[in-house]
Amino acid sequence: MDLIDFCELQESELKEHYHLYAENATDNFTIELSYFLNNHKTICNRLWIEELVSWLVPMLFAIFVILGVVGNVLVLIVISFYQQMRNTTNILILNLALSDLLLLIICIPPTAVDYAVGWPFGKELCIVVQYLIHVTVYGSIYTLVLLSLDRYLAVVYPVQSITIRTVCNAFIVISITWVLAFTSCSPIFFLFHTKTVSSIKTNEERNVCTFNRDEYSHIVEVTYQTTFFVTSLVIPVIAIISLYISMLHRLWRGTAATHGRGPARDKRCVGQENKRRVTRMIIFVVIVFVLCWSPLQVVMLLKSFKLYEINQTSLVAFQIICHCLAYCNSCLNPFLYAFLSSNFRETFKKSIFFPWKRNNPSNSPINNNHIPKVTIKTTNINEDGNRITNLGMQEVIQLKSM
């Protein structure tokens, strides 16, 4: 009778089988029988969690990867190939999609294998994966800070920020963000390693990728987790909240200031409403990110202070749920864009159902090459609330005198 068979027995049946099992026990079974009898419920709950997690978590991660890769690649396509989608806000959204893809493709699959069979990839890949996980967290949260700053400038300083909120400047600050993220995470190369543990289910040894507590003291772990928690969650969230409080005050106050009649008032109303829609979408993206990542961040911080002991089954299950929730965030953003932005929604449809129209400026079946054309400058307000000036060719019909 093995451990799984024992877990299926009731407490009264356990005592009846105790002596029978003791006579036939092998040395490979390392748990003392008396200890097992006294902790039957806890051990069996841990066993069932380990067995459930070994297939459920990898399956969930696979779903996250499939949905996330498809959704974020679609975001890259619509921003890269549709000219009307190229503005500072969407360039930052594109960077957020790249960060999610990095996590989905490089980090999540090895972690799924770790949950299923342990870590078979060695110490080097363990360090690389942990390093990239931390980098993507920094890249994502500070991209959200930049998006919030972009919204703040667009609302509070709509005219003055025109020369600042350019696509070129967006790429510059994105590059700086990634350089800082890759640099600040360099201590990860020294703090993680692989460790051998025993499986409750099979009593076999398996490697896990974890913090190197064998070489570094408890103070180092606390310092590392606290620094990461403050710099990747507390400071960015405070900055984002401060920007949105100031911005929303100005945004809603602008509604009262929009008075009068005529085309000028209508244009102001359209611009304000467009800004509200984009701002609302970014706020939802920020809220979802914080809700998904903050539980895992808090758990890891509490564990470093030894305030979160995983000897309780419920706490083990909660930590796994937090891990799944954090990784789930990488596949949610494209759905938020489609749900909250009519511009993204329509462009998604065009990209999926009419990809051949991607670079076709005119869908007219009539060939009008013989008609004289002149260059006309037009100014429109896009969904971002910015004024976009386009130079286009306009057909001119020449009327002959009678």
**What total number of domains does the chain contain?**
3
169-186 tens-digit pLDDT: 999 999 999 999 999 999
Task: Indicate whether 303 belongs to any domain.
Answer: yes
Residue 400 forms part of a structural domain:
no
Confidence (pLDDT) at 362: 43
27 within some domain: yes
Question: Average pLDDT in the 306-321 region?
Answer: 83
Residue with more model confidence, 258 or 123: 123
Do residues 209 and 333 both lie within one domain?
A: yes
Q: Is residue 194 part of a domain?
A: yes
Q: What pLDDT shows up at residue 400?
A: 38
- Side chain identity at residue 196, one-letter code: T
Report pLDDT for 15.
52
Answer yes or no: is pLDDT of 363 > 50: no
Same-domain status, 351 and 370: no
- d(Cα 199, Cα 229) in Å, to the nearest integer? 30
Residues 74 and 108 in one domain: yes
According to the model, what pLDDT value does residue 376 have?
53
- The domain containing residue 63 runs over which residues? 46-356
The residue type at 69: V
What pLDDT, on a 0 to 100 scale, did the predictor assign at position 45?
A: 72
pLDDT at 112: 94
Q: What's the pLDDT score for residue 136? A: 97
Tell whether 136 is covered by a domain. Answer: yes
> Do 12 and 97 have their domain in common?
no
**Same-domain status, 275 and 368:** no
Mean pLDDT of 251-262: 57
Q: Has residue 397 got a pLDDT over 90?
A: no
| Sequential DSSP letters for 155-213 | HHSTTTTTTTS-HHHHHHHHHHHHHHHHHHTTTHHHHEEEEEEE-TTT--EEEEEEE-T
Nearest in space to 40 (alpha carbons), one of 62, 64, 15, 59? 15
Question: Do 24 and 156 reside in the same domain of the chain?
Answer: no
Whether 269 contacts 173, CB under 8 Å: no
286 has a pLDDT exceeding 60: yes
What local confidence, expressed as pLDDT, does residue 5 receive?
57
Query: If pLDDT is split at 50, 70 and 90, which confidence band does 390 have?
Result: low
Query: Does residue 154 sit in the same domain as residue 265?
Result: yes
Query: Residue 48 has what pLDDT?
Result: 77
Task: Tell me the CA distances in angstroms from 72 to 105, 175, 330, one per residue in order.
Answer: 11, 20, 9
CB 307 within 8 A of CB 316: no
Q: Provide Rg for the chain, Cα atoms.
A: 28
Lookup: tokens for 107: 């980090």
CA distance 336 to 109: 24
In a domain, 89, yes or no: yes
Chain mean pLDDT for the chain:
80
What is the rounded distance in angstroms from the CA atom of residue 296 to the CA atom of residue 179? 25
**Does 68 share its domain with 96?**
yes
pLDDT of residue 377: 52
Q: How far is CA 395 from CA 151, 360, 371, 372, 401, in A?
A: 37, 18, 6, 6, 19
Range ranked top by mean pLDDT from 11-20, 278-287, 374-383: 278-287
What pLDDT does residue 33 have?
54
Phi, psi for residue 373 in degrees, rounded to 5: -130, 150
The span from the CA of 164 to the CA of 17, in Å, is 77
The answer to whether residues 372 and 344 belong to one domain is no
Q: Give the confidence band of 401 by pLDDT, cuts at 50, 70, 90.
A: very low
In a domain, 245, yes or no: yes
User: How many residues belong to the chain?
Assistant: 402
Q: Of 191-195, 331-335, 348-352, which gets the smallest average pLDDT?
A: 348-352
* CATH number of the domain residue 334 falls in: 1.20.1070.10
Task: Looking at the structure, tell me whether residues 282 and 305 fall in a common domain.
Answer: yes
Residues 283 and 382 in one domain: no
C-beta separation of 158 from 385 below 8 A: yes
pLDDT at 343: 87
